DNA sequence: TTATCTGCAAACATTTTGCAGCGAG
DNA sequence: CTCGCTGCAAAATGTTTGCAGATAA
Protein backbone atom coordinates (compact mmCIF):
# COMPACT_ATOMS: atom_id res chain seq x y z
CA UNK A 1 0.00 0.00 0.00
CA UNK A 2 1.45 3.32 -1.11
CA UNK A 3 1.67 6.61 0.74
CA UNK A 4 -1.10 8.32 -1.22
CA UNK A 5 -3.34 5.30 -0.94
CA UNK A 6 -2.94 5.41 2.81
CA UNK A 7 -3.56 9.14 2.78
CA UNK A 8 -6.76 8.83 0.76
CA UNK A 9 -7.89 5.78 2.71
CA UNK A 10 -7.43 7.53 6.04
CA UNK A 11 -9.16 10.61 4.76
CA UNK A 12 -12.19 8.64 3.66
CA UNK A 13 -12.28 6.71 6.90
CA UNK A 14 -13.24 9.93 8.67
CA UNK A 15 -16.17 10.73 6.42
CA UNK A 16 -19.69 9.56 5.76
CA UNK A 17 -20.17 11.48 2.55
CA UNK A 18 -19.34 10.71 -1.03
CA UNK A 19 -16.70 12.92 -2.55
CA UNK A 20 -15.25 13.31 -6.01
CA UNK A 21 -11.57 12.71 -6.71
CA UNK A 22 -11.07 16.42 -7.21
CA UNK A 23 -12.75 17.27 -3.92
CA UNK A 24 -10.62 14.76 -2.09
CA UNK A 25 -7.51 16.16 -3.71
CA UNK A 26 -8.44 19.74 -2.80
CA UNK A 27 -9.31 18.85 0.79
CA UNK A 28 -6.08 16.94 1.29
CA UNK A 29 -4.15 19.93 0.01
CA UNK A 30 -6.07 22.24 2.31
CA UNK A 31 -5.04 20.26 5.32
CA UNK A 32 -1.45 20.53 4.23
CA UNK A 33 -0.95 17.08 2.72
CA UNK A 34 1.10 16.84 -0.40
CA UNK A 35 -0.46 14.65 -3.08
CA UNK A 36 -0.87 15.08 -6.80
CA UNK A 37 -4.22 14.79 -8.47
CA UNK A 38 -3.12 11.85 -10.59
CA UNK A 39 -1.96 9.96 -7.54
CA UNK A 40 -5.31 10.56 -5.92
CA UNK A 41 -7.02 9.13 -8.99
CA UNK A 42 -4.65 6.18 -8.99
CA UNK A 43 -5.20 5.60 -5.28
CA UNK A 44 -8.97 5.73 -5.64
CA UNK A 45 -8.92 3.23 -8.47
CA UNK A 46 -6.75 0.90 -6.42
CA UNK A 47 -8.90 1.23 -3.32
CA UNK A 48 -12.00 0.61 -5.33
CA UNK A 49 -10.55 -2.53 -6.88
CA UNK A 50 -9.50 -3.71 -3.46
CA UNK A 51 -13.08 -3.26 -2.29
CA UNK A 52 -12.06 -0.61 0.22
CA UNK A 53 -14.25 2.12 -1.20
CA UNK A 54 -17.52 2.29 -3.09
CA UNK A 55 -17.84 4.31 -6.26
CA UNK A 56 -20.94 5.72 -7.84
CA UNK A 57 -21.61 8.02 -10.74
CA UNK A 58 -23.01 11.48 -10.32
CA UNK A 59 -25.78 12.90 -12.49
CA UNK A 60 -23.05 15.15 -13.89
CA UNK A 61 -20.93 12.17 -14.84
CA UNK A 62 -18.29 12.51 -12.14
CA UNK A 63 -17.38 9.51 -10.06
CA UNK A 64 -17.93 9.80 -6.33
CA UNK A 65 -16.15 7.74 -3.69
CA UNK A 66 -16.85 6.74 -0.16
CA UNK A 67 -15.46 4.30 2.35
CA UNK A 68 -18.20 1.84 3.24
CA UNK A 69 -18.59 0.16 6.56
CA UNK A 70 -20.45 -2.88 5.34
CA UNK A 71 -18.73 -5.75 3.62
CA UNK A 72 -21.82 -7.10 2.01
CA UNK A 73 -23.67 -5.79 -0.96
CA UNK A 74 -25.80 -2.74 -0.27
CA UNK A 75 -27.08 0.46 -1.82
CA UNK A 76 -26.96 4.14 -0.98
CA UNK A 77 -29.35 6.85 0.06
CA UNK A 78 -27.69 10.19 -0.44
CA UNK A 79 -28.68 13.70 0.57
CA UNK A 80 -28.50 15.99 -2.42
CA UNK A 81 -27.85 19.01 -0.25
CA UNK A 82 -25.26 18.08 2.36
CA UNK A 83 -23.94 14.93 0.70
CA UNK A 84 -24.36 12.71 3.73
CA UNK A 85 -25.19 9.16 2.79
CA UNK A 86 -26.42 6.06 4.51
CA UNK A 87 -26.21 2.45 3.44
CA UNK A 88 -29.40 0.55 2.84
CA UNK A 89 -29.64 -3.18 2.56
CA UNK A 90 -32.45 -4.45 0.40
CA UNK A 91 -32.66 -8.19 0.06
CA UNK A 92 -36.15 -7.81 -1.36
CA UNK A 93 -34.87 -5.63 -4.16
CA UNK A 94 -32.09 -8.07 -4.99
CA UNK A 95 -34.63 -10.84 -5.30
CA UNK A 96 -36.92 -8.69 -7.39
CA UNK A 97 -34.06 -7.79 -9.74
CA UNK A 98 -33.18 -11.44 -10.28
CA UNK A 99 -36.75 -12.34 -10.97
CA UNK A 100 -37.42 -9.40 -13.30
CA UNK A 101 -34.35 -10.31 -15.34
CA UNK A 102 -35.27 -13.96 -15.54
CA UNK A 103 -38.79 -13.15 -16.65
CA UNK A 104 -37.41 -11.10 -19.53
CA UNK A 105 -35.09 -13.94 -20.52
CA UNK A 106 -32.00 -12.18 -19.23
CA UNK A 107 -29.27 -13.37 -16.95
CA UNK A 108 -28.45 -10.59 -14.53
CA UNK A 109 -24.84 -9.44 -14.24
CA UNK A 110 -25.14 -6.20 -12.41
CA UNK A 111 -27.61 -3.80 -10.93
CA UNK A 112 -27.54 -0.34 -9.44
CA UNK A 113 -30.05 1.12 -7.04
CA UNK A 114 -29.35 4.63 -5.84
CA UNK A 115 -31.72 6.80 -3.85
CA UNK A 116 -31.33 10.52 -3.40
CA UNK A 117 -33.27 13.12 -1.52
CA UNK A 118 -33.04 15.36 1.53
CA UNK A 119 -31.89 14.14 4.88
CA UNK A 120 -33.74 15.18 8.05
CA UNK A 121 -31.54 18.20 8.68
CA UNK A 122 -31.74 19.50 5.12
CA UNK A 123 -35.41 18.77 4.62
CA UNK A 124 -36.72 22.31 4.90
CA UNK A 125 -33.74 24.29 3.67
CA UNK A 126 -34.13 25.67 0.13
CA UNK B 1 -39.45 21.72 -32.78
CA UNK B 2 -36.32 22.16 -34.85
CA UNK B 3 -35.06 20.16 -37.80
CA UNK B 4 -32.35 18.31 -35.90
CA UNK B 5 -34.71 17.57 -33.02
CA UNK B 6 -37.11 15.97 -35.47
CA UNK B 7 -34.23 14.07 -37.07
CA UNK B 8 -32.98 12.70 -33.77
CA UNK B 9 -36.49 11.97 -32.53
CA UNK B 10 -37.38 10.04 -35.66
CA UNK B 11 -34.13 8.16 -35.51
CA UNK B 12 -34.73 7.07 -31.92
CA UNK B 13 -38.30 6.12 -32.67
CA UNK B 14 -36.99 3.25 -34.81
CA UNK B 15 -34.74 1.76 -32.14
CA UNK B 16 -34.97 -0.26 -28.96
CA UNK B 17 -31.39 0.29 -27.83
CA UNK B 18 -29.71 3.03 -25.91
CA UNK B 19 -27.19 5.04 -27.90
CA UNK B 20 -24.70 7.74 -27.04
CA UNK B 21 -24.88 11.19 -28.58
CA UNK B 22 -21.79 10.45 -30.61
CA UNK B 23 -23.22 7.17 -31.90
CA UNK B 24 -26.44 8.87 -32.91
CA UNK B 25 -24.48 11.58 -34.67
CA UNK B 26 -22.33 9.05 -36.53
CA UNK B 27 -25.30 6.92 -37.56
CA UNK B 28 -27.26 9.91 -38.81
CA UNK B 29 -24.24 10.93 -40.90
CA UNK B 30 -23.91 7.42 -42.27
CA UNK B 31 -27.46 7.47 -43.53
CA UNK B 32 -26.74 10.72 -45.32
CA UNK B 33 -28.37 13.15 -42.92
CA UNK B 34 -26.63 16.42 -42.28
CA UNK B 35 -26.41 17.37 -38.63
CA UNK B 36 -23.64 18.75 -36.47
CA UNK B 37 -22.58 17.07 -33.29
CA UNK B 38 -23.46 20.07 -31.17
CA UNK B 39 -26.95 20.19 -32.61
CA UNK B 40 -27.39 16.52 -31.80
CA UNK B 41 -26.37 17.25 -28.21
CA UNK B 42 -28.71 20.21 -28.11
CA UNK B 43 -31.55 18.16 -29.55
CA UNK B 44 -31.03 15.34 -27.07
CA UNK B 45 -31.06 17.72 -24.15
CA UNK B 46 -34.28 19.29 -25.43
CA UNK B 47 -35.94 15.93 -26.04
CA UNK B 48 -34.93 14.73 -22.62
CA UNK B 49 -36.37 17.82 -20.96
CA UNK B 50 -39.55 17.39 -22.94
CA UNK B 51 -39.78 13.84 -21.64
CA UNK B 52 -39.47 12.37 -25.12
CA UNK B 53 -36.38 10.34 -24.40
CA UNK B 54 -34.84 8.66 -21.38
CA UNK B 55 -31.23 9.22 -20.46
CA UNK B 56 -28.99 7.04 -18.38
CA UNK B 57 -25.31 7.10 -17.53
CA UNK B 58 -22.87 4.51 -18.73
CA UNK B 59 -20.25 2.89 -16.51
CA UNK B 60 -17.78 4.86 -18.62
CA UNK B 61 -19.56 8.11 -17.84
CA UNK B 62 -21.18 8.70 -21.21
CA UNK B 63 -24.84 9.50 -21.35
CA UNK B 64 -27.02 7.11 -23.30
CA UNK B 65 -30.39 7.97 -24.80
CA UNK B 66 -33.43 6.05 -25.84
CA UNK B 67 -36.96 6.80 -26.84
CA UNK B 68 -39.28 5.11 -24.38
CA UNK B 69 -42.65 3.73 -25.22
CA UNK B 70 -44.13 4.06 -21.77
CA UNK B 71 -45.29 7.36 -20.39
CA UNK B 72 -45.12 6.27 -16.80
CA UNK B 73 -42.13 5.83 -14.65
CA UNK B 74 -40.14 2.69 -15.26
CA UNK B 75 -36.64 1.25 -15.21
CA UNK B 76 -34.37 -0.49 -17.68
CA UNK B 77 -32.90 -3.91 -18.17
CA UNK B 78 -30.08 -3.65 -20.66
CA UNK B 79 -28.02 -6.29 -22.43
CA UNK B 80 -24.35 -5.51 -22.01
CA UNK B 81 -23.47 -7.29 -25.23
CA UNK B 82 -25.98 -6.23 -27.89
CA UNK B 83 -27.35 -3.17 -26.13
CA UNK B 84 -31.00 -4.13 -26.48
CA UNK B 85 -33.05 -2.93 -23.57
CA UNK B 86 -36.48 -3.59 -22.16
CA UNK B 87 -38.55 -1.49 -19.82
CA UNK B 88 -39.50 -2.93 -16.48
CA UNK B 89 -42.17 -1.55 -14.25
CA UNK B 90 -41.66 -2.14 -10.57
CA UNK B 91 -44.30 -0.68 -8.34
CA UNK B 92 -42.95 -2.78 -5.47
CA UNK B 93 -39.53 -1.20 -5.81
CA UNK B 94 -40.99 2.29 -5.84
CA UNK B 95 -42.81 1.57 -2.65
CA UNK B 96 -39.71 0.06 -1.07
CA UNK B 97 -37.64 3.12 -2.03
CA UNK B 98 -40.13 5.47 -0.42
CA UNK B 99 -40.24 3.45 2.72
CA UNK B 100 -36.47 3.00 3.00
CA UNK B 101 -36.00 6.74 2.65
CA UNK B 102 -38.65 7.55 5.22
CA UNK B 103 -37.17 5.11 7.69
CA UNK B 104 -33.81 6.89 7.41
CA UNK B 105 -35.48 10.26 7.94
CA UNK B 106 -35.06 11.28 4.30
CA UNK B 107 -37.57 12.65 1.86
CA UNK B 108 -36.99 10.95 -1.46
CA UNK B 109 -36.43 13.11 -4.53
CA UNK B 110 -35.09 10.69 -7.04
CA UNK B 111 -34.07 7.11 -7.51
CA UNK B 112 -32.36 5.07 -10.16
CA UNK B 113 -32.66 1.36 -10.68
CA UNK B 114 -30.77 -0.07 -13.61
CA UNK B 115 -30.31 -3.73 -14.37
CA UNK B 116 -27.78 -5.09 -16.81
CA UNK B 117 -26.92 -8.55 -18.00
CA UNK B 118 -27.19 -10.77 -21.05
CA UNK B 119 -30.34 -11.12 -23.08
CA UNK B 120 -31.52 -14.53 -24.23
CA UNK B 121 -29.73 -14.31 -27.57
CA UNK B 122 -26.42 -13.20 -26.09
CA UNK B 123 -26.51 -15.51 -23.10
CA UNK B 124 -23.95 -18.03 -24.30
CA UNK B 125 -21.75 -15.86 -26.50
CA UNK B 126 -18.39 -14.94 -24.89
C1' DT C 1 21.02 0.03 -6.42
C1' DT C 2 16.84 -1.18 -8.18
C1' DA C 3 12.11 -1.11 -8.37
C1' DT C 4 8.20 1.46 -7.27
C1' DC C 5 5.74 5.66 -6.38
C1' DT C 6 4.86 10.47 -7.33
C1' DG C 7 3.63 14.69 -9.57
C1' DC C 8 3.70 17.48 -13.38
C1' DA C 9 2.28 18.30 -17.93
C1' DA C 10 0.31 16.63 -21.86
C1' DA C 11 -3.10 13.66 -23.90
C1' DC C 12 -7.88 12.14 -24.13
C1' DA C 13 -12.89 11.84 -24.35
C1' DT C 14 -17.15 13.81 -23.73
C1' DT C 15 -19.93 17.69 -23.53
C1' DT C 16 -20.77 22.76 -23.72
C1' DT C 17 -20.37 27.35 -25.62
C1' DG C 18 -19.23 31.47 -28.79
C1' DC C 19 -20.06 33.08 -32.93
C1' DA C 20 -20.77 33.90 -37.84
C1' DG C 21 -23.64 32.39 -41.50
C1' DC C 22 -27.92 30.38 -43.16
C1' DG C 23 -32.73 29.79 -43.68
C1' DA C 24 -37.58 30.01 -42.39
C1' DG C 25 -41.27 33.02 -41.61
C1' DC D 1 -35.55 41.95 -42.37
C1' DT D 2 -35.37 39.49 -38.27
C1' DC D 3 -34.88 35.83 -35.31
C1' DG D 4 -33.73 31.49 -34.26
C1' DC D 5 -31.33 27.22 -35.85
C1' DT D 6 -27.03 25.23 -37.36
C1' DG D 7 -22.34 23.76 -37.42
C1' DC D 8 -17.68 24.64 -36.85
C1' DA D 9 -14.03 25.49 -33.85
C1' DA D 10 -12.61 26.53 -29.35
C1' DA D 11 -13.26 25.95 -24.46
C1' DA D 12 -14.41 23.43 -20.41
C1' DT D 13 -14.53 19.35 -17.63
C1' DG D 14 -13.15 15.05 -15.66
C1' DT D 15 -9.94 11.46 -16.14
C1' DT D 16 -5.80 8.91 -17.80
C1' DT D 17 -1.05 8.42 -19.26
C1' DG D 18 4.10 9.28 -20.24
C1' DC D 19 8.01 10.29 -18.12
C1' DA D 20 11.74 12.14 -15.29
C1' DG D 21 12.89 12.76 -10.71
C1' DA D 22 12.01 11.37 -5.79
C1' DT D 23 11.51 7.75 -2.56
C1' DA D 24 11.74 3.49 -0.28
C1' DA D 25 13.44 -1.35 0.24
Query: DSSP states of A60-103 as a string?
Result: TS-EEEEE-S-SS--EEEEETTT-BEEEE--HHHHHHHHHHHHH
Q: Is the pLDDT of residue A70 over 70?
A: no
- Tell me which residue of B69, B54, B89 sits closest to B13, measured CA to CA: B69
Q: Does A77 touch chain B (CB under 8 A)?
A: yes
Q: Does A70 touch chain B (CB under 8 A)?
A: no
Q: % helix / strand / coil in chain A, to the nearest 5?
A: 35, 30, 35
CB contact under 8 A, B93 and A96: yes
Question: How far is it, in rounded angstroms, from Cα A101 to Cα B3?
Answer: 38
pLDDT in tens, A27-61: 999 999 999 999 999 999 999 999 899 999 888 88
Q: Give the helix/strand (H/E) hosting A9.
A: helix A3-13
Q: Is the pLDDT of residue A126 over 90?
A: no
- Tell me which residue of A56, A82, A80, A81 sits closest to A67, measured CA to CA: A56
Q: Strand D contacts (CB < 7 A) among B residues 52-91? A: 61
Question: How far is it, in rounded angstroms, from Cα A85 to Cα A110?
Answer: 22
Nearest CB to B108; choose among A86, A113, A117: A117
Neighbours of B12 (CB within 10 A): 22
B chain contacts of residue A96, beta-carbon cutoff 8 Å: 90, 92-93
- pLDDT at position B90: 87
Q: How far is CA A124 from the centre of its chain?
A: 25
- Tell me which residue of A121, A100, A12 sits closest to B117, measured CA to CA: A100
Torsion of CA A76, A77, A80, A83, to 10 degrees: -60
Q: Which of B55, B78, B113 is the best residue to mutate to test the A interface, defined by the most A CB atoms within 10 Å of its own CB? A: B113
The model's pTM is: 0.86
Burial of B73 (C-beta count, 10 Å sphere; 0-12/13-18/19+): exposed
Contact B82, B123 (CB under 8 A): no
Q: Is the pLDDT of residue A107 over 70?
A: yes
C1' of D14 to CA of A47 (Å): 19
Give the pLDDT of chain B (126 residues) as one tens digit per residue: 899 999 999 999 989 899 999 999 999 999 999 999 999 999 999 999 998 999 998 878 899 999 986 678 899 999 988 889 999 988 999 999 999 999 999 999 989 999 999 999 998 887
C1' of C8 to CA of B83 (Å): 39
Q: Does B117 touch chain A (CB under 8 A)?
A: yes
- pLDDT at position A60: 84
pLDDT in tens, B40-62: 999 999 999 998 999 998 878 89
Indicate if CB(A116) is under 7 A from strand C.
no
Q: Is the pLDDT of residue A5 over 90?
A: yes
Question: How far is it, in rounded angstroms, from Cα B56 to Cα B35?
Answer: 23
Question: How far is it, in rounded angstroms, from Cα B52 to Cα B69?
Answer: 9
Question: How far is it, in rounded angstroms, from Cα A36 to Cα A38?
Answer: 5
For chain B, give the longest Cα–Cα distance. Answer: 54
Nearest CA to CA, how far is B63 from chain A (Å)?
8
Average pLDDT, whole number, for chain A? 92
CB contact under 8 A, A59 and B63: no
Neighbours of A121 (CB within 10 A): 12
Amino acid sequence: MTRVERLVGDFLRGRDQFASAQQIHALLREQGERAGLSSVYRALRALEQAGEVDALANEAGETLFRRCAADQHHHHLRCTRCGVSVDVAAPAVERWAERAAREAGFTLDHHTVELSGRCGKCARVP
